[in-house]
Amino acid sequence: MQSSLRIKTCFRNGITEIEDAFYTSPYKVMHPFHDGKHSDIMMMAASAGLLGGDHFSLNLDFGAKSDATFLSQSYEKVFNTDGKIASKNITINVGEEAKVCYMPYPAIPFAGSHYQSRAKVQIDPSAIFIYADIFTCGRTGMGEFFSMDMFQSKSQFYVGDKLVFADHTLIDPHKFDYTKIGFWQNYTHNGMMFIYSPKEEILDNLKMAIREKCKDMDGVTGVSHAEKGLVVRTLAMRGETIWDFFESIRDFYIQKM
């Protein structure tokens, strides 16, 4: 199944609104939840998850001065793809002086699944942007630990016309034992967060604050500078642990801005 969802926002009359939207089954978008000039935009899906051969194209265009958070309704399940590939292509454009957070719920690769995700993000140098990518090693409650065929996630972040950070996560259980030291060890959930601000001093302060927050986080976390922006990596035993941790970073960052 080929599916797509496209959203374009604008800042009008003191509110961030959806200016244009297009989507095909099983995806749709809820009416935004407004809080002052900020809006939460939630994607919904009528299907239970992705199957072999499914491809989902997500295009988000946040107009100048938009203030928005993009969310998903629930965890993204990738079922046994039966030798095929389930894929997702994400394109995000963050306009001038926009303030955007992309924070969907984690992906869960079932046993026998092959999943590929590609994201390309174009950020105006004057904008503020947060991107989160969280996934699990499988349905741990069902005893599935690294039972997928393959999980692959590629992300590229451009500020202006310059590539400032690229991430490639590849999980191939047929080649590697991810429970060893230097890999995931006993952890089951992985999270990556990219944060961009045009103000370097804000990022320096945020890096120190994140390192303090790490002391109370039930997992392993690191934070470092990219060419522009910050990158946070974390391992934990629960998706909610990483989600709550990333949410606390987002809230702290937005308050400083």
Q: Is 212 helix (H, G, I), strand (E, B) or coil?
A: helix
β-strand partners of 122 = 93, 158
The H-or-E segment that residue 103 falls in is none
* pLDDT tens for the 257 residues of the chain, in order: 899 999 999 999 999 999 999 999 999 999 999 999 999 999 999 888 999 999 999 999 999 999 999 999 989 999 999 999 999 999 999 999 999 999 999 999 999 999 999 999 999 999 999 999 999 999 998 999 999 999 999 999 999 999 999 999 999 999 999 988 888 989 999 999 999 999 999 999 999 999 998 888 899 999 999 999 999 999 999 999 999 999 999 988 876 56
Give which of 104, 122, 65, 112 is closest to 84, Cα–Cα: 112
Domain spans in the chain, listed from the N-terminal domain onward: 2-180
Q: Which of 102, 176, 165 minimizes the C-alpha distance to 137?
A: 176
pTM for this predicted structure: 0.95
Of 236, 233, 195, 83, nearest to 149 by C-alpha is 83
The pLDDT, as a whole number, for residue 256 is: 58
